Amino acid sequence: MNILGAIFPLGNFLNRNDKEKSIGDHLQSSFSFARTCLIRGDADQCFRSLLFQASLSYAGIGKRVCFYTPLPLQTIPVLVHQLIPDSLSTANLHLIQFHYLPTLTDVHKHLIHSTCDIIIIDGYLEFPICKEEDLFRIISACALLRDTHEYLKKRFHNEDLILLCSCTCAESSMANVEQRALFDLAINIEMLEDGDYHASIHLLRKTKISCAFYFRMNRNEILPLGATIQYENKLSMRTKCDIKRVPIDVEFDPPPPSNDK
């Protein structure tokens, strides 16, 4: 399971096409190498739900999850429609360890002794680091997190160690973080005028590919509405789900004819 498949488990909403690869297959293959991901934007009210969904997805396949957050969970965050466990006792919650730590220093002190498979940090830059947003401190904090991830991979011989975190810093600050490719994936989430959400996913290393998800948050569930994937050669795929959750077939936009002779 890759990072996007854990955050946005869309398998129940996509139809298979015998002649063409489904968008789910493309997402699985195109983003399979990513091990670190930053969720950012101004729609922080949905971040915790997406992170919690990812933790359940990974725990569901037997992965040990460390979930760090500066504020305790008061209620169970909403989950993706049709993936809410009938009983949370069968959701492998025992594999998810929640840690409520007051500062980034405490988080990193705990991390270096962690032997988990999945590291999830809710509001990484909401932990106190300075009184005001400071670009140098933000970049340094993100670079430290990347270095800690690399250290843990080598120390515990775990090349598949996943790091997933969220933050709500200013666009200009996070643009500098992305330019330095401190994470494999960046997911920018914004709330649209109609109240739905748009998540734009960008790979920051290795290849030029972009992807987007549209979803809606109700009181008790996250409802996927559609997904698109775009390659540098203009090949794109898209799928949509109507509000009754009935999927339609994936569509292809073939690449334009080549001018090469």
Each residue's pLDDT tens digit, 214-226: 888 887 778 888 7
Distance between CA 50 and CA 166 in Å, rounded?
Answer: 10
- Which domains are seen in the chain, by residue range? 3-13+34-193 (3.40.50.300)
Strands 36-41 and 118-121: unpaired
Q: Is the pLDDT of residue 103 over 50?
A: yes
* More confident site: 33 or 111: 111
Quickly state the pLDDT bin for 78 (edges 50, 70, 90). confident
Instruction: Name which residue leads in pLDDT, 73 or 185.
Output: 185
Task: Give the three-state DSSP class for 238.
Answer: strand
Residue 221, both tokens: 């569930």
Q: What is the pTM of this model?
A: 0.81
Q: pLDDT, tens digit, for every residue of 233-256?
A: 555 555 444 333 333 333 333 334
3-state helix, strand, coil in the chain (%, to 5): 30, 30, 40
Residue 9 confidence (pLDDT): 74
Greater confidence (51 vs 250) lies with: 51
Residue type, 45: Q
Which two tokens mark 17? Answer: 């096409």
Phi, psi torsion values for 186, nearest 5 degrees: -125, 130
pLDDT tens digits for range 165-177 = 998 776 666 777 7
The per-residue pLDDT for range 151-167, each reduced to its tens digit, is 999 999 999 999 999 98
Question: Which range in 45-49, 169-173, 179-183, 197-201 is most confidently predicted, on average pLDDT?
Answer: 197-201
